[in-house]
Every structure is written in structure tokens, then in C-alpha cells.
Amino acid sequence: MNRPDFAIVGAPRAGTTSLARWLARQAGCAISDPKEPFTFVGDDLSNLRQEQGVSSIEEYKALFERGKRAGHKCGEASTLYLVSNGAIQRLIDFAPGIRIIILVRDPTDVVVSFFNQMRLMRYEDRGLEAAWCAAVDGRPPPLAFPDRLMADYPRIGSLGSQLRQAMEIAPAESILVETFDDLTQDTEAALRRIVQHGGLPAATDFTLDATNQSRVARGTLPEQLRSRRARAVTRRLKSALPGPVVERLRHSRDSLLYKPTDPVVAEGDVKAMIRDHFTSEVLLLEELIGRPLRRPQ
């Protein structure tokens, strides 16, 4: 059956893209294209799924057809499944026995990084403090956002509540939780645990590349390339080309379409306000993972 064997379901801005690309390089492993099909998100992200993802179950199955024919372990990385209502339950219903990988990070860092990503996508045009306060007050986001949830920064960062709900839904043995700090500071050990959890072939390369670094679009073309039609054309091209060629083209494309920029850095008062909001979420997260969220330096 063309169903995923594993899924990285969150959290966004916690190393998920780097992990997905590392897995895609491993022999006997295949990651869907698009990496984030968003097929099982709820109504809270329905526009995002329609515009950038894969809505049809038949199309979703087709994402894994090539990998399954080759005998590979197949997966996807829709990192908003963790926050979207009912997404993990629908994923499990579709693929019983799926191995779930969850990466977590300090919620304040997630929110600040996610906010910067929304700026890159040209959805967000406000400052961090204005965007945060608007979300806390329940005010509507800019019209550019596909779905309101993507600007609900307090909900995006509520990782303790999200992880608790995932643990209540999925069998305990199906979930592996890794922290961003472990992934970046003790990379080989973290990747070995992920390989073992996913039942993947043994890995020999444990180099994790940094991805999604701060940048801005050079024009409007990146927005046009996010359209459903453009992404379909891109997928067909990728399927016809060898993996190394695709990676070289990806780097060339990114250099052409984007330029580096300094990320928004949360000022002390703003960061303290966001951190105070997430105090209980951090405590819950640490209780669930059984240790402090941050590794000692």
C-alpha cells in the first residue's frame, strides 16, 4: 500500500527541514515531494492545503508510489500537523502503525523563528510585538495569510499542549520526541535514535545541513512559484532528474530568488512578554519529555 511509514509532524522551526533533507539523502529512505503535503490538516489550515499541499487521498498515495516500488521506507514532513485540529488522528487512521517523529524547541524561539518565516513568505508585514499582541487579543491577521492559524503565534508556540494531545492520540511506542538542542548539539546520537525509531536502514553520514536560514525574496516570483500549478510542474521535473542534480538546482534557485537578511531579533521586553506567556507550556513540555528543554552549555 502506498502509505507513509513515518512522518515528521512538528514542530515548525525546530530542525524539521534539515532532518527531512537528511533522511532524503539516506539509502533506502524516501521523503515525499512536496515535503509538506498538508493532506490531513483540519479546517484551520484548509486554504494552505488547497494552495500549497495535496488535498486528494489518491494524489497523496501517489507521493509514495515511486519509493514503495523501490522498496524504500517512505515518509513526509507536514510540520503543522502537530498544531492543526485532528491532523494526527487522521494521519494515524490513514496509516495505522506509522512512526511519528516530533521535534520540539523552546516555544519563544519557535515563535520568533516562525514569525521570521512568515515575513519571508510575504504573509507578515507587521513588527513582532504588533503581530504577537494582535494574536493574543484575537484580532485578525493581514489578508495575505492563507489561514488565520498561521498568524496565531500563541497557538503555534503551545508545544506542551500539542505534544500532550499527540501522546493521548497516538500509541506511546509510535512516537519519538527529540529536542532541537539534541539535534544540533548531539547530532549523531539524535539521528541514530530517529533511524532506529523509524525502522530505517543504518546510516553512515550524520551531517545535518542548516536550512531555512533568514532571507527575503528578491521579487514576487517566489510567491508565484508557491502556486499549485507551479509546484506540480516542479514535482514532475524533480521526478525526472537524479537527486544530486535536484539539490544543485535547488541551491541555484534559492540564490536567484532570495537574498540573505538579518532575522528579526526579539527585543528584551518583547521576548520577556512572549516567554512569560509560555511559562506553563515550557513546564508541561519538560514534564512530558522528562528532562529540561535546553541542554546545559
Instruction: Give the C-alpha separation, 227 to 121, whole Å.
Output: 13
pLDDT at position 192: 97
Other C-beta atoms within 10 Å of 76: how many? 31
Instruction: Give the C-alpha separation, 110 to 184, whole Å.
Output: 15
pLDDT digits (tens, 9 = 90+) for 208-266: 987 665 555 556 555 555 555 555 666 566 556 655 555 556 556 655 665 656 666 67
pLDDT at position 128: 96
Q: Which residue has the higher pLDDT, 231 or 30?
A: 30
What is the average pLDDT across 128-156?
97
Please tell me whether residue 21 adopts helix, strand or coil conformation. Answer: helix
Looking up cell 499541499, which residue turns up? 53
Angle between helices 128-137 and 268-277 (to 10 degrees): 30
Instruction: Give the C-alpha separation, 234 to 225, whole Å.
Output: 9
> All 3 cell numbers of residue 31?
521523503
Q: Which domains does the chain have, with CATH numbers?
A: 6-214+262-289 (3.40.50.300)
pLDDT at position 268: 83
pLDDT cut 90: percent of the chain above it? 76
pLDDT at position 233: 60
Report which of 282, 16, 10, 42 is spatially closest to residue 148, judged by C-alpha positions.
42
Lowest mean pLDDT among 49-63, 133-147, 213-227: 213-227
Instruction: Give the C-alpha separation, 88 to 42, whole Å.
Output: 10
What is the average pLDDT across 191-212?
90
pLDDT at position 229: 57
Please tell me whether residue 148 adopts helix, strand or coil conformation. Answer: helix
Lowest mean pLDDT among 127-141, 153-167, 217-231, 273-287: 217-231
pLDDT digits (tens, 9 = 90+) for 73-127: 999 999 999 999 999 999 999 999 999 999 999 999 999 999 999 999 999 999 9
**What is each CA distance from 26 to 4, 10, 56, 74, 282, in whole angstroms?**
16, 21, 28, 11, 33
What is the average pLDDT across 186-215?
88
pLDDT at position 1: 79
Please tell me whether residue 64 adopts helix, strand or coil conformation. Answer: coil
DSSP state of 174: G
Question: By CB neighbour count within 10 A (0-12 exposed, 13-18 middle, 19+ buried), where does 220 fall?
Answer: exposed
